[in-house]
Each structure stands twice: as structure tokens, then as C-alpha cells.
Amino acid sequence: MNTKEILLITNYFPPEKGAASNRMHTLATSLHKSGFTVHIVCPMPNYPTGKKFKGYKNSLYKKENDEGLIIHRLWLWASNSSNKFLRLVSMVSFSIALSFFFLFKRTPKKVFIQYSPVFVGFTAVIWSWLFDKKRILNVSDLWPLAGLEMGLLQKGFYYSMLEKMERFCYQKSNLLVGQSEEILTHAKNLTNTPTFLYRNIPDFTPPSVPEKPIKKPITLVYAGLLGVAQGLTKIRNKIELPSHVELHLYGAGPEAEEISRVQKKNIFYHGELNRNDLHKALQQYDLAFIPLTNRIYGSVPSKVFEYTRLGLPVLYFAGGEGGELVEKHQLGWNIPVSDFNALQQFILELSEVQLKTFQKKRVQEEAIKAFNFETQFDIFIKVIEKL
């Protein structure tokens, strides 16, 4: 069997949009460029609407070849319902399809598993362990802990079961890849599995950033999932924007309909764009906004790396390790998470003079220097080739 062959198992993959999908596509294409034969197993595309995309609705299995990537799309019962039981059914349906894939398809010796959602990661670890594969577990969120901190889960039998599944996945992996130091610290308390820090650094050519005078109105922008964790609806209701500040929103998700329906005079919703068009659109704004309603241990939003590579200073309102990175590399302002009074005060005082503190070109240069995809990926390749 080809030793440079690898299987990637993920719940999200293009044509779906979003950070998780972009991250897995970047990894897959980079592995392919490095000489690997890359297979991807994912559900029929349905995120974030919870409805299967056109061309996939009546398929149980679909095999595609996209520029050398071999993509196996499996059936699932798609849903983005706020009902926890329906979401669980959707996850379990893909887990069942994944089980059949392992039973009836030849799979490479090395398997890279996107751990979240838990049931999908757990299923992938069990089968790849039973078939004696080399298992690389990618942990981008600390479930079930993140669910507890967001108020989506409560301690009890179900939570304890998820914790046991998490521990099993960590302990039965050959390499545990984490997107933050906090994730690796958490994992080391549960297992002796070797770990590797692999941040969600994007891989695209940074655009040139012309220095333009900053004029009023000052424009803030958010682009990404419009979900409960990001809390844009809550922020919109709690924060009053002064007349010289505008907030522009891009994306899709559970709160998109409400945001699009009820808007304030200086808050604008622009819908969803593909990644290339979004990058072009973002460059016209003065400051990128990265919020979370609550601090989630282990979370470092990939927007920190994406926005700053585009040359946008960030207003970080999410807490934790991400805020420390913003401060350490001087990429913008770090407002204490959930401190709406501090956020309100900052926005009221926001001025052209403040923005000059973090000029776009300097922010971009710092981001490129601090977060280099190729350097990180080259080290990662050497590690997984030794497995």
C-alpha cells in the first residue's frame, strides 16, 4: 500500500463555506501538493442551512475527483435544527454511513480525523483503531466542555458519556493535533498521546495593502457563522453604535434571518459571499470584529489569522488564548469577553487617531511574520511521515 496515502474524515468540506471547511480543504490540497494521495470522507454538503445542496439531495454515496483530491460523500439525515435530539440524529446518521464506509471500502493506513462532532470523531477512531490504522486526531474544539461553557449541554449522564468518548478518542490516537495551547494542555491531562500544535493559519497570497486616510464613518466588519456562540443578535441589542461608526455583517447561520429582518440604521447585513469575493470585500473596512458571547476554553477563532493576513486590525471580544495572541503580536484591541460596558465604551471612543495605532500594513506584516502556514505545515508533514 502507498505509504504516502491518507484519509481525511471531516464533517465539513467545500462546497460548504466556513472556517472548518476552508481549514480542511487547505490541509487536503497541501497534502496533495506534498505528494500524498488524499482521500476525503465527508457528508453530502448541507452546512449551514441543514439542507443538502443541489445535485446531492437524492444520493446515498457520491465519489468525486477535485484537482487530485478523491472525495467520498456519504448520506446523512441533514438538519441544523436548534432541537438537540434532531441534531444528534443528524450526527448519528453520518456516523452510521461512515461505519459502512469502513466496512466496505479499502482505506489508507493513515487516517486524519476531525474530532468534532464527537459522535463522528468517535466512530472514526473506533473503526480506524479496529482496522489498525495510524490515527491522527484533529481537535479544534474541546467538546463536550465547549458545549457546557456555551450553555448547550448540562452535566449529567449524556455529558459524562461524551467525556468518556472524548477520553477514548484521545487515548486511542497515535497523534493528537490541537489548534491551541489550551487544547493541548487539556489533552495532556487525559492521555499520554503525543501532541502537535497546528494553528488554523490560512494559506493564501496576502493582498497588497495601500495606506489610505481613515475617514468617518469608521467601519467594523464581521464575517462568518451567525450563530448563538458568536452572539451578534445579543450584541446588536446591547450595544448602541454612535453615528460615526458602522457595523457590517457577512455570513449565514441560525441568527441570519433575525439579523436580516431587524436592522438598525448603522448596522448592515450583506448575506454570504464565497471566500475570494469576501476577501476583496473585507479590505474596504477599517476594523474586524471577533466576538463570542462567552469565553470558550481552547478556542482560538481562525478569524484572527484570516483577518490580519488581509491587513485588518481586530477588535477581539472573545477571551482566552486568542486575545493573548492579539496583544502579544499587536494586532488590535482585546476587550474582556462578555464585558459589554467595556465594549460600548471602546466603540463610543473609537476614532481615526485610535486606528492609526494599528496601521493595516504593519498589522499584515506582523501577522505574516508570526503565523506562517508553510513553516508549520513542513514540520507537520515530517511528524506524520514518521507514524
How many CB atoms lie under 10 A from the CB of residue 189? 7
Nearest Cα to 383, choosing from 106, 120, 44, 31? 31
pLDDT tens-digit readout, 216-256: 899 999 998 888 888 898 898 889 999 999 999 999 888 88
Indicate the average pLDDT of the chain: 92
Helices (H), 172-272: 181-188, 232-238, 256-261
- pLDDT for 19: 80
If one compares 263 and 134, the residue with the highest pLDDT of the two is 134
Q: Decide: 90 and 49 in contact? Cβ < 8 Å.
A: no
Taking each helix axis from N to C end, the angle separating 157-171 and 118-130, rounded to the nearest 10 degrees, works out to: 40
Q: State pTM to two decimals.
A: 0.87
Overall size of the chain counted in residues: 387
- Average pLDDT over every residue of 206-219: 86
Residue 74, strand partner residues: 43, 61
- pLDDT for 29: 96
Instruction: Say if residue 3's pLDDT is above 70.
Output: no
Which numeric CATH code is attached to 5-201+372-385?
3.40.50.2000
pLDDT tens-digit readout, 66-88: 989 999 999 999 887 777 788 88
Domain 218-370 in the same topology as domain 5-201+372-385: yes
The class level of CATH for 218-370 reads alpha beta
What are the CA-CA distances from residue 102 to residues 13, 129, 139 (Å)? 19, 11, 21
If one compares 2 and 359, the residue with the highest pLDDT of the two is 359
Alpha carbon distance 78, 80 (integer Å): 7
Nearest Cα to 263, choosing from 252, 254, 255, 272? 255
- pLDDT for 285: 95
- pLDDT for 2: 57
In the chain, where are the structural domains located? 5-201+372-385, 218-370
Alpha carbon distance 130, 165 (integer Å): 16
Q: Which residues contact 69 (CB under 8 A, 6 or more apart)?
A: 28, 29, 32, 38, 40
- pLDDT for 236: 86
